[in-house]
Amino acid sequence: MDVVVFSVLCTLAWDAWSLAAFRFALGLAVGLDCPIAAGYLAEILSSKNRGRWLVGAFSLQAAGILLGAVVGVVVLNVRPEIDSWRIMLGFGVLPALLIIWLRRAVPESPRWLAQNGGEEEACEIGRALAGVPMTVTGADRERQEGPPEGFRAFLQPQLFSRRWRRRTIFTAVPWFLMDIATYGVGIFTPTLLAAIGADLVAHLIDDQKMTPEGLCSSLAAYIDNVLGGSSDQPGTRKDA
């Protein structure tokens, strides 16, 4: 719901500072949702299909980028006005509302239910997900510590405990640096294209990734990961 609220506020921004503030808040909302969604999938899915589902989930970002570009082209052709950017930013409300509607049918995590007294419901959901009868064991009921509440729930201090500190650093730092590079290039791509000019097209065609063979190779790798399940092959974690 935060994504919907801040997307609407972006369309109502009255100056550059308010727009920057609302976009920053929107980025926080989206950024918080991504690891939660990935963690949820990793927790409820069996090891058989977990990898391909996670790859598919993260690939939706690329689909969103493509959809955003298409929306921008359509809006500028239908309404080439200086304030058309408000329509483009407001369009983000529609997929957000769709996700909210779809998530109404998402089941609770069986692991969480087993740790919080919902053993019967945990077995029912587990059976529906795995297709085989499920039972709750003593190990399923165990919880090392209670979930943090209030501001501690936002900070998740256990991630910085001695046990998890190394994993947190080697997960967060590379991801942060990758985002700087990825979104930095994305933000300035229109400026770079305008500055370099039409010669860029010929230059990109010479690059292997922009040839038909390169594009087909990238597409085949993606299909193999998501549909073929190579992300679930030996070498990846197989925790049940």
Residue 205 predicted with pLDDT over 50? no
φ, ψ of residue 136 to 5 degrees: the values are -95, 125
Considering the entire predicted model, what is its pTM? 0.65
* Sequence-ordered list of residues with C-beta below 8 angstroms from that of 47, at least 6 positions apart, any chain: 232, 237, 238, 239, 240
CA dihedral (70, 73, 79, 81) positive or negative: positive
Residue 200 predicted with pLDDT over 70? no
Give the residue ranges of DSSP H helices in the chain. Answer: 2-11, 16-44, 50-78, 85-90, 93-102, 110-115, 119-130, 138-141, 151-155, 165-196, 199-206, 212-226
Of the pLDDT bands very low, low, confident and very high (cuts 50, 70, 90), residue 21 is very high
Residue 203 predicted with pLDDT over 60? no
Lowest mean pLDDT among 8-12, 26-30, 171-175, 229-233: 229-233
Residue 118 predicted with pLDDT over 80? no
Query: In the 8-state DSSP scheme, what is residue 133?
Result: -
pLDDT (0 to 100) of residue 217? 53
Percent of the chain past pLDDT 90, that is, above it, reads 2
Residue 125, strand partner residues: none
Mean pLDDT (the chain) is 75
Q: Is pLDDT larger for residue 84 or for residue 43?
A: 84
Residue 222 predicted with pLDDT over 60? no
Question: Whole-angstrom Cα distance, residue 233 to residue 240?
Answer: 14
What's the whole-number mean pLDDT along residues 194-218?
52
Calculate the dihedral angle through the C-alpha atoms of 64, 68, 74, 77, rounding to the nearest 10 degrees. Answer: -160
Percent of the chain past pLDDT 70, that is, above it, reads 74
Q: Is pLDDT larger for residue 145 or for residue 69?
A: 69
Task: Give the distance from CA 205 to its chain's centroid.
Answer: 30
Question: Is residue 113 within 8 Å of residue 121, measured between CB atoms?
Answer: yes
End-to-end CA distance of the chain: 32
Query: In the 8-state DSSP scheme, what is residue 221?
Result: H
Q: Is pLDDT larger for residue 84 or for residue 150?
A: 84
Of the pLDDT bands very low, low, confident and very high (cuts 50, 70, 90), residue 109 is confident
pLDDT in tens, 88-97: 888 888 888 9
